[in-house]
Structure 1
């Protein structure tokens, strides 16, 4: 799983090839899904692949699904499917938003980079900001300022931290700020303080 996450987080490393979607779909018609890598390919195939207004107004990299529905397609148990989705979410590769009682909106965060559908380069910073509302941006900016001011660190990986911020629930974002001092006091030395990104990614405020 660790190796798979590394590949998905940096899809361009090692080179890329382009294959017809229908060829991959035919492959899965006759081949059962045996591992996490194949399951990720199936999820990518399910995602909308353009911005022309897919079913239900989907954008590129988005899909409507349920855990039960995905489990049936993969022929996996619900527990196994949840484990994979949880890994993808913690790696900030997949975002899941509640839609209604019947389905959720899944967004593959670096879909365009993974599938390399366009030649133009997309700024990671603009992608991160596009996922946030004005209020979320303001709250994140305040957290970012306070954290690095208190930790006396030079800010790094801001756009990745934005992804980590959007992965938190509203309650967790409040705790990330309120428990910041508790986290600092828990350290034996400020030499061991985490970066702002890792503080959010590993939910250091929950310990």
Structure 2
């Protein structure tokens, strides 16, 4: 599988994204009841924000997933941990599949991480999934994310998690065990430090 990642065009892509976000499995995006106009407004806002970007993943020209990248320093996360300039935040929504394929979501996730880490300015990826979203938590762990602690964001209780270049590369080598999760008790702030090296090319 191979994917091409392009910027979201709000006017072109709002109907598609509206359809995806109304699916029950996308409920953690909080837009199940949003109108197409509301989706258009949200992605127009993102397109005008220099610190937040929306991307569409294409497989053979067909939309396959939505990814958002953002600078945590300009997000609600800035109030919850010491943001490093090499951090990049990420959200991911895989589109509905007419013919589900084994391993498809994993390949999408790997393509997203490779895309983000291709920027040498990114040394650590930050995610904050809803604590009720067990499926994404399990996938994050397989991809090298280390959960740190629960935080309260304006729209959810979230599990703050990090993946350094080294964390991700470790998942590509089955002979090396994944990093152990940090302590998740309230008040813990055991954050994985970002690498100071540029990292191996992905």
TM-score (norm: length of structure 1): 0.28
The structure with the largest strand share of the pair is 2
The structure with the largest helix share of the pair is 1
TM-score (norm: length of structure 2): 0.29
